[in-house]
């Protein structure tokens, strides 16, 4: 129902595709209930799919709220089965939307994403917005682990830092990096299957050692967490 971007010259090649919304998602649509920490994730999905945006104010709030949840989670998360395990997303918003549609409603499905949400693809910001909107709705059944791209070094070397600065600014980038610092690092499904992004350090001898790691930092160049 939001106003679409104007076409003053009438030269849109494919008129069947609606133009992107002019304005960011309205607060009354983003937060339809009295609970200001739970965004309408379906409205977020549909708005982003239409190439709409979220205001900086609302994105910052979502980042703070999601970071607070991640900070309370252990380094190693225990998952029940059945469980949907998902690998790299790398800024592919439409693939992510399609995946969620095929794999199951997140209100009824246990998900664990194993990192690498950003870089390479051009919708890394939108992927983060969509994912944390689901995390804020389903904190206990929608898990996000940290991959090697969830850090300052990789996002500066690849595309994500520049993407955030172009769409928002450096302040938002720093908040996203702080959220990345808080992401859990691995999981255990049904007490049998070890879940992590990119391998197991030779320094790790016992799973019990994982929760003793200080994960709230930039990914180091050596050690258990590198």
Q: Which residues are catalytic?
A: 149
Scanning the structure block, which residue is given the tokens 């682990």? 145
| Main-chain dihedrals φ then ψ at residue 165, nearest 5 degrees | -65, -35
Angle, helices 56-71/170-182, rounded to nearest 10 degrees: 20
Angle, helices 124-137/160-167, rounded to nearest 10 degrees: 80
CB 215 within 8 A of CB 184: yes
Query: What is the distance between the alpha carbons of residues 132 and 137, in angstroms, rounded to a whole number?
Result: 8
């Amino acid at each position: 129902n939001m106003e679409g971007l104007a076409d003053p010259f009438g030269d849109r090649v494919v008129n069947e595709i609606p133009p992107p919304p002019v304005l960011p998602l309205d607060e009354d649509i983003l937060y339809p209930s009295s609970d200001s920490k739970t965004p309408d994730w379906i409205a977020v999905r549909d708005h982003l799919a239409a190439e709409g945006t979220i205001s900086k104010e609302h994105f910052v709030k979502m980042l703070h709220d999601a970071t607070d949840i991640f900070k309370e989670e252990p380094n190693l998360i225990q998952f029940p089965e059945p469980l949907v395990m998902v690998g790299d997303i790398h800024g592919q918003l439409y693939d992510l939307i399609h995946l969620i549609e095929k794999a199951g409603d997140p209100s009824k499905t246990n998900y664990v994403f194993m990192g690498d949400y950003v870089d390479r693809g051009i919708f890394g910001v939108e992927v983060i917005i969509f994912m944390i909107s689901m995390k804020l709705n389903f904190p206990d059944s929608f898990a996000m682990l940290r991959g090697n791209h969830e850090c300052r070094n990789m996002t500066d070397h690849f595309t994500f830092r520049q993407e955030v600065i172009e769409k928002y600014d450096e302040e938002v980038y720093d908040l996203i990096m702080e959220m990345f610092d808080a992401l859990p690092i691995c999981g255990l499904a049904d007490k049998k299957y070890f879940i992590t992004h990119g391998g197991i350090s030779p320094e790790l001898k016992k799973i019990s050692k994982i929760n003793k790691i200080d994960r709230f930092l930039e990914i180091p160049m050596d050690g258990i967490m590198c």
